[in-house]
Amino acid sequence: MTMKIIMDTDPGIDDAAALTMAINDPEIDLKLITAVAGNVTVDKTTANALKIVHFFGKDQEIPVAAGAKEPLIKPFEDAARIHGASGMEGYDFGDDYGEPIAKSAVEALHDAIMAEDEVILVPTGSYTNIALLFKQYPEVKSHIKEIVAMGGSISGGNMTSIAEFNVFTDPDAAEIMYKSGVPIVTVGLDVTLKALITPATLNQLKDMNETGKMLYGLINNYNDVTEAGHPMHDVNTIFYLLHPEAYQTKDLWVDIQTSGPAIGGMVADIRGAYHDGKTNAKVCVDIDAAAFNQWFLDEVSHMK
């Protein structure tokens, strides 16, 4: 039985790789893609989502809707320095990739969620669209099986000493999402900085097939890199859905800092001391990185 998912995303190179996995894995039924401002502006993230859908010939099957142009309150700050001016540098997708649907992201999310019994939301950008959805249509919450969200960290940030990019971009939206009561799996920097596409894996992609060539081009132009490899942050959401056994998790209560020097920070009640034993997130804290690399290669080997 396939998992019905909706991806809310801001492509972005690692988002593009996550979309690639979600579109092609037979265990996943990707119902909708909604775009949000994040790694680059929303016009570019929408175009990039359309490019990936068109690359795999899914234009008629997977709708793409444009969403929020800016965070709820905080001024917008992109990550073009990491992903390039277009957000997806390194491969020529051409100019014939279609248009988003007429519905806004919030309307499209509402309609797609209400049409299903249990759907999994997979946000891999800032959570602005999700927050707007919950504020406008709280009834959708009971139709969402869980949220598997890339973002946050309980061990240190990549924007500040505490804040991770997706949460930092719109901390007010993150607070709304974490207070929503919907079950949340947090796939944050605690694991994504360990899930590196190694140089050996990257070199194998290059000559594998056209998808491998595309991903090789994108990842080679991805400025989030160490000597050990490129962290594929957003791809971890899909790997978690398919292989949760590869992750160690902790059930915790997490709060989001929405102001001050720790803005965008995720604070976990690791002692269970302040919320009467309640938790609001299953936080991924470790990963089998070798299994992640092998899975990545296996997935791509079966693509076009």
Which pLDDT score is estimated for 294? Answer: 95
Question: Which of these is catalytic: 143, 233, 275, 302?
Answer: 233
How far, in Å, CA of 197 to CA of 98, rounded? Answer: 31
For residue 277, pLDDT over 90 is answered with: no
The pTM of this model reads: 0.95
Amino acid at residue number 244: P
How far, in Å, CA of 25 to CA of 104, rounded? Answer: 27
Query: Buried b vs exposed e over 258-270: b needs ≥16 C-beta within 10 Å?
Result: beeebbbbbbbbe
How much of the chain, in percent, has pLDDT values that exceed 90? 87
**Could you tell me the end-to-end alpha-carbon distance of the chain, in angstroms, rounded to an integer?**
24
Beta strands in the chain (DSSP E): 3-9, 28-35, 64-66, 119-123, 144-150, 184-187, 196-197, 230-231, 247-252, 254-256, 266-268, 281-287
Q: Which helix (H) or strand (E) holds 294?
A: helix 289-301
pLDDT band of 19, cuts 50, 70, 90: very high
Which pLDDT score is estimated for 142? Answer: 94
How far, in Å, CA of 113 to CA of 236, rounded? Answer: 23
How far, in Å, CA of 27 to CA of 23, rounded? Answer: 10
Amino acid at residue number 259: S
How far, in Å, CA of 138 to CA of 176, rounded? Answer: 11
Closest CA to 13 of 68, 81, 59: 81
Beta strands in 83-172 (DSSP E): 119-123, 144-150
pLDDT band of 254, cuts 50, 70, 90: very high
Q: Per-residue pLDDT tens for 59-116?
A: 999 999 999 999 999 999 888 888 888 889 999 998 889 999 999 999 999 999 999 8
Helix (H, G, I), strand (E, B) or coil at 244: helix
Helix (H, G, I), strand (E, B) or coil at 159: coil
Which pLDDT score is estimated for 221? Answer: 87
Over range 146-158, report the average pLDDT.
Answer: 96
230 is catalytic: no
Over range 54-60, report the average pLDDT.
Answer: 95
How far, in Å, CA of 161 to CA of 132, rounded? Answer: 28
Phi, psi of 117 (to 5 degrees): -80, -50
Phi, psi of 143 (to 5 degrees): -95, -5
Q: Per-residue pLDDT tens for 212-225?
A: 999 999 999 888 88
